[in-house]
Structure 1
Amino acid sequence: MKNINLTSTEISALWATYINDCASVCFLKHFSHHVQDAEIKPILKEALSIGESHIKAIKELFQQESFPVPKAFSDEDLNLSAPPLYTDLYALSYVYGMSRIGLISYGTMYSNIAREDVMDFFAQTLHQSAQLYRKSVNLMLSKGIYDRPPKIPYPESVTFVEKESYLNGWLGELRPLNAIELTEIFFNIERNYFGVLLLTGLLQVTKDEEIKKHLMNGKQLAEKQIKTFNNLLLNEELLGTVPVAMEVTTSTTSPFSDKLIMFTVNSLYSAGITTLGHSIAVSTRRDLSAQLSKYLTEVLSYGDDGVSIMIERGWLEQPPQAPNRRQLMHV
């Protein structure tokens, strides 16, 4: 196995996981330092331990391969003397949100790799994410903060689409949303609520005016999506998803560096791009796919703005890249 070099897909999976886990560990350390709820404390401890184990394993693998270890994030980006910025309930929802993202991203990574030791690592990360997801959902249910997706009656029989009007979204009578579309709408709402709460806290503690403006734009974009998708549900005579109680404290002292804040927000909007792209692919009602496409364009533009800020400040760590053959050949 030592004679088999890492492929580009294995490098990208390990590199991205290292960077993201270093950032996530900073948040988990902040949550764990302040948590009071005896039921939430163990799951935060477990999530933190898992993140730190990923960082250690990837660092050792990179060192064995004589591969440069990313700078990423560390305790230098964390101020544990700052008061809690979020309540314990938000800390729990953070574990839930990150485990959901982990299940999606680790599954994709696992399907793109072939070296056995790397496959073993991502098989473990998938299992750990699944366990954290299960525990966080069960705890959120017991705390009354998990908003279940809409329920629909079971169909009485198997049916097939008979008319192209099934795709209608602008003209004629709209068909009801199907179960697949309802799923996409629900989780887009949930993802944006998570983002609004995160950004509310970060806006309270960010002093840099350019970053504050960027965060406010992100919050407004998330709120706009929540309103649009909730209205879609209400128009179908379905209850819209409602936010849980505000889970942000009144602290104005930042626990995180501006670099970490920008990276975290940009990462969440990258996940949003993936989610919206998937939603477009599986939604067949034209008005829904058009609305999703509109927001995908807006989120892409917002992400570009964030990347520009990070580049200007020297905060964007460059992923490993292929050599420039034309430059090497002087052509």
Structure 2
Amino acid sequence: MMISQRTPITSSELANLWMAYQEKTMIIRILDHFIEHADDEAKQLLQSHSNTAAKNVEAITNIFHQEGAIIPIGFTEKDVYKGVPKLYDYMYDIMYLHMMTKIEMSLYSLFLGMSYRKDIEDFFISLTAESQAMNSQSTQLLLEKGVLVRPPFVSMPTKVGFVQSTNYQDGLKLFGELRSLNTVEVSLIHHAIETNLVGMQLMIGFAQVATDKEVQDYFVKGMKLSEKIETSLGEFLRQSFIEPPATHAGKATTSKMAPFSEKLMMYNTSLLTSFGLGSNALGGAFSLRNDLPTKMSLLAKDIFSFAQDGGKLMIKNGWMEEPPQIEDRNQLTT
């Protein structure tokens, strides 16, 4: 009788599990600070996500043990400082969770499509479902509290139409006027602005508590970049007489005491920047008005430059953990 052996995990499965480990260990540490200062209603939701993340970290650790892979360092209790004042005010914790679960939904769906072994597929299916459920719960809580701004309502279409002129792509109507944005374009712009508003406050808080001058300057640069993206894309909405999303909640406090290590804050910024690049590319690809992809491509250059500077800064300070490396061609097996 032959004893069946489990198929080894592939390079993509190893890479994706490694990246999930980094993200999950980071989110646990961020939530540690938020839970410490949260009210009862928010605390329940935050604690639920933290508990789930801890179980997922354990699952990844077990897979690595089974495969004989070293366990990454990721982020530990050393990366969060207890007993310091809260860095963000009313409902920012849930706004942050809402933003991060958007990233998780995209990330884990991508990882699922790059998985081949059944248990790895099942793992990323469960991660995707968990992030979807948490995003839904955070969305409803933010709406209930009047913190989250819905995209604009529109009249329902009553007939099907087809584009009659290439002027549609130029964004022009008769007499050289700009045509109004369509609903696809509005949805992508609204999403980008909503995310950057949360990211901008994150950068303000990080800049306030960073002790390294170069790191502090980097967060200030990130704050200004988020503001530039929000302002630039908001102008497209205003041209169509749509008010860009804004909220009264979720601001950085005046605290100067860091709740997180600078290594963690830099990694979190890097993750958001990568997500921003992807969202920017998606927005440009699905827009049928040429001026919008042009603007997004210019913003993408700024985002990419910001990401490159962040990578250099992380390497300089020894904060960038190296992904599993293929040492030579002999390790590439099929």
Matched AA of 2:225 = L
The match for 2:152 is: 150
The match for 1:222 is: 226
Picking from 18, 22, 26, the partner of 1:23 is: 26
Taking the TM superposition and a 5 Å limit, the aligned residue runs for 1:113-152 are 113-152=115-154
Could you list the per-position Cα deviations for residues 12-68 of structure 1 after superposition, in whole angstroms to 9, with x for gaps in the alignment?
Answer: 211100001111111001111121x22111101101111111111101110110011
Taking the TM superposition and a 5 Å limit, the aligned residue runs for 1:72-151 are 72-151=74-153
The match for 1:14 is: 17
Q: CA deviation at 1:88?
A: 4.5
Mapped partners of 1:176, 1:61: distance in 2: 51
Mapped partners of 1:168, 1:229: distance in 2: 17
The match for 1:198 is: 202
Taking the TM superposition and a 5 Å limit, the aligned residue runs for 1:226-265 are 226-265=230-269
Q: Please, which moves more after superposition, 49-58 or 170-179?
A: 170-179
2:52 is the counterpart of 1:57: no
Picking from 49, 52, 68, the partner of 1:66 is: 68
Q: CA distance change for structure 1 residues 146 and 130 in 2, over 3 Å: closer, same or farther?
A: same
Matched AA of 2:151 = P
Q: CA deviation at 1:246?
A: 4.8
SS at match of 2:278: helix
Contact 1:170 1:287 in 2 (8 A): no
Q: CA deviation at 1:161?
A: 1.1
Using the size of structure 1 for normalisation, the TM-score is 0.95
Contact 1:110 1:123 in 2 (8 A): yes
Q: CA deviation at 1:242?
A: 1.9
Q: CA deviation at 1:3?
A: 2.5
Contact 1:31 1:88 in 2 (8 A): no
Could you list the per-position Cα deviations for residues 137-181 of structure 1 after superposition, in whole angstroms to 9, with x for gaps in the alignment?
Answer: 111111110110122211120111111111004893322111111
Contact 2:64 2:70 in 1 (8 A): yes
Contact 1:78 1:255 in 2 (8 A): yes
Q: CA deviation at 1:2?
A: 4.9
The match for 1:323 is: 327
Mapped partners of 1:196, 1:87: distance in 2: 14
SS at match of 2:40: coil
Could you list the per-position Cα deviations for residues 81-120 of structure 1 after superposition, in whole angstroms to 9, with x for gaps in the alignment?
Answer: 2121112500011111111111111111111111111111
Matched AA of 1:53 = K
Mapped partners of 1:185, 1:10: distance in 2: 33
Mapped partners of 1:250, 1:40: distance in 2: 22
Matched AA of 1:110 = L
Using the size of structure 2 for normalisation, the TM-score is 0.94
- Moved >4 Å (runs of 4+): none
Contact 2:90 2:250 in 1 (8 A): no
Mapped partners of 1:268, 1:89: distance in 2: 19
Mapped partners of 1:237, 1:81: distance in 2: 46
What RMSD in Å do the two structures reach over aligned CA positions?
A: 1.7
Mapped partners of 1:246, 1:17: distance in 2: 27
Q: CA deviation at 1:278?
A: 0.9
Where does the alignment leave 5 or more consecutive residues of structure 2 unmatched? none
Matched AA of 1:285 = R
Mapped partners of 2:248, 2:151: distance in 1: 14
Contact 1:181 1:282 in 2 (8 A): yes
Q: Please, which moves more after superposition, 270-279 or 243-252?
A: 243-252
Mapped partners of 2:267, 2:5: distance in 1: 33
SS at match of 2:291: helix
Matched AA of 2:212 = D
Where does the alignment leave 5 or more consecutive residues of structure 1 unmatched? 327-331
Size of the alignment, in residue pairs? Answer: 326
Q: Please, which moves more after superposition, 169-178 or 205-214?
A: 169-178
Q: Please, which moves more after superposition, 161-170 or 71-80?
A: 161-170
SS at match of 1:187: helix
